[in-house]
Structure 1
Amino acid sequence: MRTTSAVIGCGDVSSVHFEALAKLDGATLVGVCDPDPQRLASAMAAYGVPGFADHQSLIEAVRPDVVHICTPHDRHASVAADCLERGVHVIVEKPLAHTLAEGRRLVEAAAAGRAKIAVCFQNRYNATSQAMHSLLSTGGLGRVLGASATVTWQRTAEYYRDRPWRGSWAGGGGGLMMNQAIHTVDLLQWLVGDVTAVSGNASTRFLGGTIEVEDTAEFVAEHANGARSAFYATLAHATNAPVTLDVVTEEAVLSLRGDLTVAYGDGRVEVVPERRSESGGRSYWGVSHELLISDFYARLGDADPFWISPAEAVKSLRIVKDVYRQSYPESAARVS
């Protein structure tokens, strides 16, 4: 049985979705959508399918089984909810939504059960992430004592000028924390445990003349299991350095630096290499979009919701928005 698919939003990140669909047995691309005429024309020419300026017209005309939503953040929840209500399955890029209210709306739409939805926290499929989760969830390493994570990357003024929505509250819902570091925030809470309290700060340290959102942030989180984690991220680095994520347990220290190193208390050391993948996408998008997308299609017939659901994705959104509320108390409505 073949599954028909469409891509809504033909900007940068859509490239990895098109790549994954091309490799997926049983999936047929039947349409693309983008309000920008030039991007839409390029996608139509590249993939030989009809194009539409709005998602409602696409759904009505080609009736896809699955849509991939790769729009700016402020369109994620509204487009996804429209598709779910019409029984169309959804893969939506992160973040879940640009506001917490819209995120909750999508949680409710998913709970109605008219169709399946996945949120692209693809780094959960990394070999290193899977290994860390397996080691921590079995309990064999003892109690988790604490964790830390860093994202020290580079973004330029030109990056934001090319897509102005990225640097705005209205379009992006935030800056660094929403567009780059939310993947690591997601991994931190998934690996260590649900977050019960956050104390943090977000600020604009060097791109203030270009963006209205933050380029640097830090927080300390308390987890339900009693562990504490520390997080730091910035876009002021000279390069896109490897993400770091360290988890300290009673019996071992797990250190992610590209590959995963597990140093046990008895002196043993194990290394779990990360997979390598050829892709036209940017290296900092990771190597696992294809795995997430393939897994989602394989589970379309399952009765249960997809495991990276809006209910899962809203957890990292809450953490980010909590930091924003603490950092910009005078602008609560804008950063919510």
Structure 2
Amino acid sequence: MTYRIAIAGIGAVADIHAAAISDLADATLVAGSCRTGEKGRTFASEHDCEWYEDTETMLDESAPDVLLVCTPSGAHLEPTVAAAERGVHILCEKPLEITTERIDAMRDAADRAGVRLGGVFQQRYNPVVQQVRDAASEGRFGDLSVVSTSVPWWRDDDYYGPDRWQGRRMLDGGGAMMNQSIHGIDAIQWLASAAMPGLDPGVNPVEEVFAFTATRAHDTDRVEVEDTAVAVLRYRNGALGHVLGTTSMYPGSLKRIRMAGRDGTAELLEDELVTWQFREAADDDTAIRNRFGGESDGGGAADPMSIEDEFHRRNIDSFLTAVERDEPYMLDAQEARKAVEIVEAVYESAERGRPIEIGD
């Protein structure tokens, strides 16, 4: 079947999703909703769909099969509940919501209605990240030592302008950790879980967090959240890690992920594999280095829109396939919740000045 998709919230990321949907053979974009008429009419013209000022009206009149939620982070709950009540499946941009309490309310609404709720973390559909996950699943790292990510990005003052929701606690939920670094956070917890074969799928692989946060490069009268954060992680298998997340490091550098243990190390610089070394070499190691070597692009280091739509396309396609076949979806609500659970622990640790246990 061809899935009719509507988008709630047609800000900048909605254009990326619309482009991704246009590349899918089994999906079509039928509508988008936002409160601004000029923006809505422009979006509808560019993507050959309808524009609605109100999301509930859009759901009633356009009759989509799937609602793609792209509203500000702290406004994901309401359109999700509205879609669930109408029997519409929901795919939601990162983070799923800004608190686990609101995420749980979304899950409850979807479960009551018998519809699917999934998240968007498109880096899971990046082949080089999947290659590292495969190595972790195969035990190639041995006893795991470190799984870390650095997101040393920059955002200028206009990004936190007075007419934007970014930097406002009620809608952003946080700053460099909740908004920018959450992709890296999801990636490292997903990678680490692959090295823990006995871990219950519903359990977060991160056990404990200790963190500091600060606002260093932006006006605190305008920015209500952190632009600089460092967190130390302890995983349930004893491995350690850290998260560096900023929007304060001009001019911005590429995201980095490291996974290492007694028997090997893999290191990613955005989409480039810069280290792939194991105690026991495999026949395809050279081919893997050749395939994923080379230079990476900006990856959002300074410009949040300098990303391609290919991984979004794969993410959406994976969700539609799971719905079509009634199969598990890799980023169901429980799985997409884990990154937010870690960020919540980061903020609680920074506020209380002590380590916080996940799930405590």
SS of alignment partner, residue 253 of structure 2: coil
Instruction: Provide the rounded CA distance (Å) in 2 between the counterparts of 1:244 and 1:28.
Output: 35
Report if aligned partners of 1:110, 1:310 keep a CA contact under 8 Å in 2. no
TM-score by length of 1: 0.90
Q: Shift of the alpha carbon at 1:84?
A: 2.1
Partner of 2:226: 214
Instruction: Say whether 1:204 aligns with 2:223.
Output: no
Q: After superposition, give the CA deviation of every residue in 1:61-112 in whole Å (9 maximum; x if it has no partner).
A: 1110111111111211221122123211111100010222101212333444
Partner of 1:259: 272
Partner of 2:262: 250
Instruction: Provide the rounded CA distance (Å) in 2 between the counterparts of 1:184 and 1:163.
Output: 28
Report if aligned partners of 1:93, 1:119 keep a CA contact under 8 Å in 2. yes
Partner of 1:322: 345
Q: Shift of the alpha carbon at 1:132?
A: 0.6
Instruction: Say whether 1:240 aligns with 2:259.
Output: no
Instruction: Provide the rounded CA distance (Å) in 1 between the counterparts of 2:276 and 2:48.
Output: 47
Q: What is the one-letter code of the residue matched to 1:230? A: H
Report if aligned partners of 2:209, 2:349 keep a CA contact under 8 Å in 1. no
* Residues 49/59 of structure 1: CA separation in 2 closer, same or farther (3 Å cut): same
Partner of 1:333: none
Q: What is the one-letter code of the residue matched to 1:251? A: D
Aligned mate of 1:310, from 333, 340, 347: 333
Report if aligned partners of 2:73, 2:173 keep a CA contact under 8 Å in 1. yes
Partner of 2:201: none
SS of alignment partner, residue 146 of structure 2: strand
Instruction: Provide the rounded CA distance (Å) in 2 between the counterparts of 1:155 and 1:254.
Output: 28
Report if aligned partners of 1:201, 1:219 keep a CA contact under 8 Å in 2. yes
SS of alignment partner, residue 328 of structure 1: helix
Instruction: Provide the rounded CA distance (Å) in 2 between the counterparts of 1:100 and 1:170.
Output: 14
SS of alignment partner, residue 299 of structure 1: helix
Alignment gaps of 5+ in structure 2: 194-204, 354-360
Q: Determine what percentage of the aligned residue pairs are the same residue.
A: 28
Instruction: Provide the rounded CA distance (Å) in 1 between the counterparts of 2:308 and 2:258.
Output: 20
Partner of 1:42: 42
- The count of corresponding residues between Structure 1 and Structure 2 is 329
Of 27-36 and 87-96, deviating more is: 27-36
| Cα-Cα RMSD | 2.5
SS of alignment partner, residue 81 of structure 1: helix
Instruction: Say whether 1:228 aligns with 2:247.
Output: no
Q: Shift of the alpha carbon at 1:214?
A: 0.5
Partner of 1:300: 323
Instruction: Say whether 1:83 aligns with 2:51.
Output: no
Instruction: Provide the rounded CA distance (Å) in 1 between the counterparts of 2:16 and 2:69.
Output: 12
Once the two structures are superposed, the pairs formed by residues 49-60 of structure 1 within 5 Å of their partners are 49-60=49-60
TM-score by length of 2: 0.85
Instruction: Provide the rounded CA distance (Å) in 2 between the counterparts of 1:89 and 1:303.
Output: 12
Once the two structures are superposed, the pairs formed by residues 70-219 of structure 1 within 5 Å of their partners are 70-112=70-112, 114-161=114-161, 163-193=163-193, 194-207=205-218, 208-219=220-231
Q: After superposition, give the CA deviation of every residue in 1:32-75 in whole Å (9 maximum; x if it has no partner).
A: 11112221121122233322111110111111011111111121
Report if aligned partners of 2:142, 2:263 keep a CA contact under 8 Å in 1. yes
SS of alignment partner, residue 325 of structure 2: coil
Report if aligned partners of 1:117, 1:305 keep a CA contact under 8 Å in 2. no
Instruction: Say whether 1:273 aligns with 2:292.
Output: yes
Instruction: Provide the rounded CA distance (Å) in 2 between the counterparts of 1:166 and 1:191.
Output: 29
SS of alignment partner, residue 95 of structure 2: coil
Report if aligned partners of 2:162, 2:222 keep a CA contact under 8 Å in 1. no
